[in-house]
Amino acid sequence: MKMFKKLTFLAVTAALLIGSAGGLAPTEANAAATGKVVVAGSTALLPLTKQAALEFKKLNPAVSVPASGAGSVTGPQSVQKGIADIGACDWDASTDVPGFKKFPGLVAHKVAVIPFATIVNKNVSVSNLTSEQLQGIYSGKITNWKDVGGANAPIIVVNRAFGSGTRVNYQIKALNNKEFMKSGANYKEVKSSGDMFTAVSTTPNAIGYIDLVYVKADVKALKFNGIDPTVDNVINKKYPIWAYGYYMTKGQPTGATKAFIDYVQSAAFQQGSLKKMKFIPIASMK
């Protein structure tokens, strides 16, 4: 009888452990990840990645998530070279996009919707530009603010350098894929979203573009074809200048890398910090 009771107790305990965690004891299922997850690439996604890394670290103290941004193209390049575990990119680098061929062997994971905005220095009186006007400005055909309803002042054009995912998306969606000017006395290129904000906010008569999370009081975000660049207008399909942000991995991710991506894609992060930062949850666009 004692032996029977002992066996019954063990069987019930095993059943509870299996049932409570889909086949794993709770301590195994909820075990914190360990290791290092290196993220490189998009500066548009960098604020999101850094915030996610802080929150993920609290849940997984044994994992470090160093993140850097040098432009979207450096993300998949770094993954292919084995320098990074995750390549943050403002386009799906496993497919061809204008100006870039796909990166074979990489897998794309959607992590956010990124709204982009045209920005100007606060001294610029213009509040709205059409796609045609932007094409004229960024091609170098329109060079004075008076030609688009502003003051008689030269337009200082600030562009992102080649390799930027923000540049790729802005060219496709704001300029209808028209070419950028390549040089000029009132034209300059910057390497990152932070550099773009600094250049436009400190240069009178400047125009540029940036993702919405970087828009602050020191610059003015313009309407596009009469539509404000807001989260609601992106979700309602009224404002077209947006893109999915991706984490690219070499094959399917495992271990701490998978755990970090899962956290960024989780409802807790998507509906929490991600929304507060003016990114849009990926589920909102379905």
How many angstroms separate the CA atoms of 277 and 213, rounded?
Answer: 6
CATH code: domain of residue 250: 3.40.190.10
119, 109: one domain: no
109, 119: one domain: no
Last residue within a domain, chosen from 235, 251, 269: 235
- Residue 18 in any domain: the answer is no
Closest alpha carbon to 193 in 222, 226, 216, 223: 216
Please list, in sequence order, all residues whose beta carbon lies within 8 angstroms of the beta carbon of residue 99, skipping any fewer than 6 positions away.
162, 168
Q: Does the pTM of the predicted model rise above 0.75?
A: yes
Chain centroid to Cα 280, Å, comes to 10
How many angstroms separate the CA atoms of 279 and 285, rounded?
Answer: 12
141, 95: one domain: no
Give tens-digit pLDDT for 147-171: 999 999 999 999 999 999 999 999 9
- Residue 197 in any domain: the answer is yes
Instruction: Count up the domains in the chain and report the number.
Output: 2
> Residue 71 pLDDT more than 80?
yes
Give tens-digit pLDDT for 20-68: 333 333 323 345 788 999 999 999 999 999 999 999 999 999 999 999 9
- What b/e string do you get for 138-160 counting C-beta neighbours within 10 Å, with b at 16 or more? bebebbebeebebeeeebbbbbb
User: CB count, 10 Å around CB of 89?
Assistant: 34
List Cβ<8 Å contacts ≥24 apart for 230-239.
Answer: 230/115, 231/115, 231/278, 231/280, 234/113, 234/115, 234/280, 235/280, 235/284, 235/285, 239/115
Looking at residue 99, what is its pLDDT?
A: 86
- Residue 201 in any domain: the answer is yes
72, 123: one domain: no
- Provide the mean pLDDT of the chain: 90
222, 268: one domain: no
Looking at residue 253, what is its pLDDT?
A: 98
Structural domain of 41? 34-113+243-285
User: CB count, 10 Å around CB of 20?
Assistant: 12
